[in-house]
A and B are shown apart, each in its own frame.
Chain A
Amino acid sequence: MALDTYERSAPPIFRQGLSTTTKLIVLGLLSITLMAADHRLQISQPLRSGVALALSPLQWLSLQPGRLMDVVGNYLSGVETARDAAFSFEAKTIAQAQRLQQVEQLSQENASLRQLLELRSQTGGPSKAVEVLYETADPYTRRVVVDRGQLAGIATGSAVIDAAGVVGQVTRVYPLMSEVTLLTDRLQSIPVINARTGSRHLANGNPLAWGGSLELKFVPSGTDMQKGDLLTTSGIDGVYPPGLHVGRISQIDRRVDASFATVLAEPTAIERGRHLLVLMPFKDWPARPVAEPVQNTPTKNKASAKAPQGGTSAGGKP
């Protein structure tokens, strides 16, 4: 109770509840436990989903001023922008028309060639268009929240692309929305292939370099790599379909004293794009050949145990 308040109710004398220090210790430990559970064990997703569901009306409300400004801005500068956009799209369509006409033929040709070579067919899986709601307020991470979630069938791990290339990956799914970690996030990595040379690399996010770029890890300094090389997804991860544009190499730093070169790439995806496409993860991915080493160890033991027998049989046969 404040000193200078005209309070009608007297404070309780005996029922004071827990002391502030006790509460501070208990709640502090509780939040540390929660953090550990979230960071190490990843078991706090139900709690997160519940809170997110309760928060969603407030979040919707907090997005309205921005939307309103967009609407007003579009209304004021609408016709001019729309005309410009129409012109640019027309020019783009003409430029792409030739390639588009070839694509049909090429994909048929590709399919028949693949059939001839008995390779797995590449089929576009199901996808879902989503809209970016907001970038998360935490300035240390690169994540956006999109407006479709579990109820729309979004699954964790799905790849997210836009018109220009790969944007990121769905890392958390709430009932009504989901969270996409961008490629430039520090903890995000993506397997890529250099489209010119065919060499495979691993690109990690590097949010500090030039306002967000990709860093290729462990590139031997002798690797054939040039500025401007296109990196596409290699498709060996089972998450990203092969052939999607990821970035262009923007900087190569080869040092004499280091065995690895520092290679930075600029993502091709549009910065602050509004509409994205979520590609559902592969379903008919071939089973990973993990079983072999598991089988190997007992057979090895058996082999070592039965080594004299095998040796005699092998020796007896010829």
Chain B
Amino acid sequence: MIMPAGRPLLLPVNPRFIGLTLVLALLLHMLLGLWGQYWVPDVLAVTLVFWTVHQPRRVGLVLAFAMGLMVDVHESALLGQNALSYVVLCGLAAASQRRMLWFPLGEQALQILPLFIAAAVVEWLTRLLTHDTWPAWSMLLAPVLQAGLWPLIGAMLLAPQRRAFERDDIRPL
């Protein structure tokens, strides 16, 4: 199999770990939502996109749609508003997934930024169509912050796969 040179071979991912991280991300999203600021980054979106890029066979659009519905109900937004933005986000991510994997996490963050902006634009358009108020400008900061969080969250999510193949290999003695 072709892969970039100098990259360690990762262990297979544990599906339970994906589920756990998604639930934790939803929890964190709810917790940050209590703050009520426009510019708070959407941790759940970052996690969903990360798994869509790295494990497209396990995490995809259907899961993104379901998570979006949950966020809609929690935020008591229009049912389907976040779902649409998550589906568009993950759809774009799945389309650019093969290219993305050739780059290290830092450079992936640059490529993922337009996707987050696109998702924010979709949400913005939905709001304008349903006669909501004009969005605040500080909302534009959220996609940038999400892209900034990408390497950090990515390193955390890949950590279990970076363990040694044989558990005894890293023992100092």
Chain A positions near chain B (C-beta within 8 angstroms): 1-8, 11, 20-21, 23-24, 27-28, 30-35, 37-39, 44, 47-48, 51-52, 54-55, 58-59, 61-63, 65-66, 134-141, 143, 145, 172, 179, 186, 207-208
Contacts and interface: CB of A to CB of B under 8 A. Distances in A.
B79 A62 contact: no
A23 B30 contact: no
B19 to A, nearest CB: 13
B65 A1 contact: no
A41 B2 CA distance: 52
A2 B83 contact: no
Given A6-B10, A28-B87, A34-B83, 4 more contacts: A5-B161, A34-B79, A59-B74, A135-B36
A28 B88 contact: yes
A58 B87 CA distance: 22
15 contacts: A3-B1, A4-B8, A6-B11, A7-B12, A23-B62, A27-B64, A32-B80, A35-B79, A51-B73, A58-B23, A137-B33, A138-B76, A138-B77, A140-B127, A143-B76
A51 B23 contact: no
Given A3-B101, A143-B76, A27 B133 contact: no
Nearest to B56: A1
Contact of B84 (A32, A38, A135, A207): A32
B172 interface: no
B73 to A, nearest CB: 4
Contacts, number: 151
Given A5-B11, A6-B12, A34-B83, A65 B31 contact: yes
A27 B34 contact: no
Given A27-B61, A30-B65, A139 B38 contact: yes
A20 B91 contact: yes
Interface string B124-136: 0011001011011
A139 B31 CA distance: 14
Interface string B62-87: 10110011100111111111011001
Given A137-B30, A137-B34, A138-B75, A38 B80 contact: yes
Given A137-B34, A138-B76, A23 B130 contact: no
B170 interface: no
Contacts of B80: 30-35, 38
B94 interface: yes
A62 B34 contact: yes
B134 to A, nearest CB: 9
Given A11-B57, A59-B74, A24 B91 contact: yes
